[in-house]
Amino acid sequence: MIHTTNDMKADVQSSVGSEKHVDVKPGEIRDIGADLYAEIDQLSPEELEREGAEVRRLLDWRLLPMLYVTYVIQFLDKLSLNYASAYSFIPDLGLEGQRYSWVAAIFNFGYLFWAIPSSLIIQRVPLAKYMGTVLFIWAGLVIAHIGAKNYAGVLVLRFLLGMAEAGVSPCMMNFTSMFYKRAEQPLRMAIWLSGNGMATMVGALLGFGLGHSHNTSLRSWQLIFLTIGLLNFITGCFFLWLMPDSPSTAKFLSHRQRIVAVHRVSENMIGVKTKEIKLHQALEIFYDVKVLCCIGIGIACGVINGGVSNFSSSLIKGYGFSGIYATLLQLPTGAIEAVVVPICGLVSTYVRDSRCIVLAVVCLIPFGGLLGIRFTDISHRWTLVGCTWLQYIIGAPVIISWNLLSTNVAGHTKRSFANGLWFTVYASGNVAGANIFFAHEAPRYYSALTGLLVCYAGMIVLCGVAYISMKWENMQRDRSMSPEEIAERRDEAAVLDGFRDMTDKESRHFRYAL
C-alpha cells in the first residue's frame, strides 16, 4: 500500500499521541528499521541515551576503519593512471597528445553511464554485499591493465572501471547515513574521505619505489596496476566479511543494541532504508533549490577533480622536475588533504549550521593557489609546486556537498536519484576537467586554470543560495506551527514521517541542517 501525502499527514497527526514514542506499525511501514523501532518503548530515555553512546563507540571502532581503508585503496586505483603516466605508460601504449586526455576522460563516461542505475540498485539490494562485489570487479579490472597493448584496449578497461566505481562513494554515503546521526555525519564522512590524502601519500611512495624496479619482466607502470589491483582484492575480501548491510543485520551488535542503533538514526528524519521506488519523489528534485545547488557544486567539483587528479604530474613535470620526482612531489598533497578534510568535518560537526559556510570558505584556499599558478613565473618552480599542492583540498568541498545531500534530502527514492544525479554530473565534470588541459598549452595550461577559477567562484555563490533557501524554509515551517507543537510534537512526527518514506518537502516537520 502506497500512502498519498495527505494520507501520511493524517497518519502522523493521529499517531503522535504518546509522550515517549510514536506508535509505528511495521505492517504499514516498509522501512527495514521499522520492526526494531517498534521495540523502542522497552527502553527508557535514559537507557537510550547511555547505551546510544556505547553503540556509537562500537560503530566507530568497527565501521570507520573498514570504510577508511576501503576508500584509501579505491582512491589509489583512481590515482594509478596519474602515477603510471610519470613513467613509460604513455609512449608504450601510444597515448601522446589528446589521447591521454581521452583515456583519463573515458573513465568518467563509464561512471556517468552507471551512476543513476547504481544508486537505484543500492536502494534495492543489501548494501555491503553489493559494494563488496563491486570491489572484486574493480580489482580484476585494475589488474587487467597490465595486459593492455594499445589505445583501444585501455579505453575499454577505463570505461568499465568507471562503471565499477560509480557504486563506491554512494555506498559509503549510505553506510554513514544508516549508522550515524546527522550531527555525527560530517566528521565521519570527512574521516573516510581523508583516506584520499593517505592514498595520495601511499601512492606517491609506491609509485616512487616501483619506479626503481628494473629487474622484472613488467614495466614500472604495469607493477603499479598489479600492486594496487591485488590490494583492492584483499580489501574486498575483508569488506564482505566485516561489513553489515544495515543496523538490523550488524552481527557485532546485540538485539538490544540494534534497537538503540535504529533509534539513534531515527532522529535523522529519513528512516533507515525503504526498497520501494516512487517516481514522484524523483521528480521533486527538479524544483528543489538546495538539491539543484548541490548538483551545480557537483559539476564544479568534477571539473576540478578531473583536471587535478589526471594532470598534477604533468604540471609538476612542466615546472622542471623529472618523472620519478614528479611522482614523489605529490606526497605532500596527501598530507594536506588528510589534515584539512577532517578539520572541515570537525567544524561542520561542532559549529551549528556551518556546513554551507565551511564549504564556501574552504574553496578560497585552492582558489588562491590557482591564482598563484596562473601569475607566478615559471622560474619560481617551488612556489608553483606549493600552489599545486593546494588543489588537493578539493576533497573538502566534495565531502560537505555529499553531507548536505545525505542530511537534507528525505524520501529514499528522492535521495537515490539525487545522489545518482550528483555523481552523474560529477562524472561529466571530470570529463570536461580532463579535456580543458590542452597539450599545446603545456606547461602553464592557462585555459584550464581559468576554468578551474570559474568553478570555485561558482561553488561559493551556490553555497550562499543553498544556505538562504534552507534557512528560509526552516523559518517558514516554524512560523506555521505553534510553539507547543514545535516543542512537543515536531520531533516525534518527523521521525514517523521518515519511517513512512516522506520527502523533506512533504514533511512539514522536517528541518534542514545548514
Query: Can you give the three-state secondary structure of 23-44, one letter per residue?
Result: CCCCCCCCCCCHHHHCCHHHCC
Q: State the Cα–Cα distance between residues 95 and 238, nearest whole angstrom.
A: 36
Q: Do 401 and 301 form a contact (C-beta atoms < 8 A)?
A: yes
Would you give the distance in Å from CA 470 to the centre of its chain? 21
Rounded Cα distance between 420 and 405, Å, is 11
**Cα Rg of the chain, angstroms:** 23
Give the span between the Cα atoms of 113 and 160, in whole angstroms.
10
| The predicted structure's pLDDT at residue 2 | 37
User: Which pLDDT score is estimated for 378?
Assistant: 80
Q: How far apart are CA 513 and CA 36, in angstroms?
A: 26
pTM of the entire structure?
0.82
Residue 277: the pLDDT is: 83
Residue type for 178, please? M
**Distances in Å between the alpha carbon of 345 and those of 353, 356, 362, 368?**
12, 12, 11, 21
Helix (H) or strand (E) holding 279: helix 279-284
Please give the C-alpha separations between residue 18 and each of 14, 15, 27, 259, 316, in angstroms, as whole numbers: 10, 8, 20, 19, 64
Residue entry with cell 528499521: 33
Per-residue pLDDT of the chain (514 residues; tens, 9 = 90+): 334 334 433 443 344 333 344 444 444 556 666 778 778 878 788 888 888 899 999 999 999 999 999 989 888 877 777 778 777 888 888 888 778 878 877 887 888 889 889 988 988 889 999 999 999 999 999 999 998 888 889 999 999 998 998 888 889 999 998 899 988 999 999 999 888 888 877 877 777 777 666 666 788 888 888 988 999 999 999 999 999 998 888 999 999 999 898 888 887 777 667 777 888 888 999 999 999 999 999 999 999 987 887 677 777 777 877 766 776 777 777 788 888 888 988 888 888 888 999 999 999 999 998 898 888 888 788 888 888 888 878 888 998 998 899 889 988 889 888 988 998 999 888 878 877 877 777 777 888 889 999 999 999 999 999 999 999 998 988 887 766 665 555 567 777 777 787 888 888 888 898 8
In this structure, how many other beta carbons lie within 10 angstroms of the beta carbon of residue 50?
Answer: 12
Tell me if 494 sits within 8 A of 509, measured CB to CB.
yes
Q: Residue 381: count other Cβ atoms within 10 Å of its Cβ.
A: 15
**Under DSSP, is residue 211 helix (H, G, I), strand (E, B) or coil?**
coil
The domains of the chain are located at: 44-248, 280-513
Return phi, psi of residue 217, to 5°: -75, -15
Report how many helices (DSSP H) and strands (DSSP E) the chain contains, helices first: 24, 0
Instruction: State how far Cα 182 lies from the chain centre.
Output: 15
Provide the pLDDT for residue 224: 87
For residues 480 and 218, give the distance between their C-alpha atoms in angstroms, rounded to a whole number. Answer: 69
- What is the homologous superfamily of the domain 44-248 according to CATH? MFS general substrate transporter like domains (1.20.1250.20)
- Helix, strand, coil proportions of the chain in percent (round to 5)? 75, 0, 25
94 torsion bin: left (phi>0), alpha (psi -120 to 50), beta (else) = left
Fold of the CATH domain 280-513: Growth Hormone; Chain: A; (1.20.1250)
- Amino acid letter at 317? K
Cell 599545446 belongs to residue: 440
Distance CA 507, CA 11 (A): 12
> Identical fold at 44-248 and 280-513?
yes
Q: Which residues contact 172 (CB under 8 A, 6 or more apart)?
A: 67, 70, 71, 189, 192
pLDDT at 234: 93
In this prediction, residue 157 carries a pLDDT of: 92
Give me 213's grid cell: 624496479
Q: Roughly how many angstroms between the first and final C-alpha of the chain, as a whole number?
A: 34
Residue 359 is predicted with a pLDDT of: 93
* Helix axes 185-193 and 168-179, enclosed angle (nearest 10): 150
Q: State which amino acid sits at residue 146.
A: I
Neighbouring CB atoms inside 10 A of 281's CB total: 24
Give the helix ranges, DSSP H, for 287-330.
289-318, 323-328
Can you tell me the distance from the alpha carbon of 101 to that of 97, in angstroms, rounded to the nearest whole number?
A: 8
Distance CA 301, CA 3 (A): 37
Q: Is 87 helix (H, G, I), strand (E, B) or coil?
A: coil
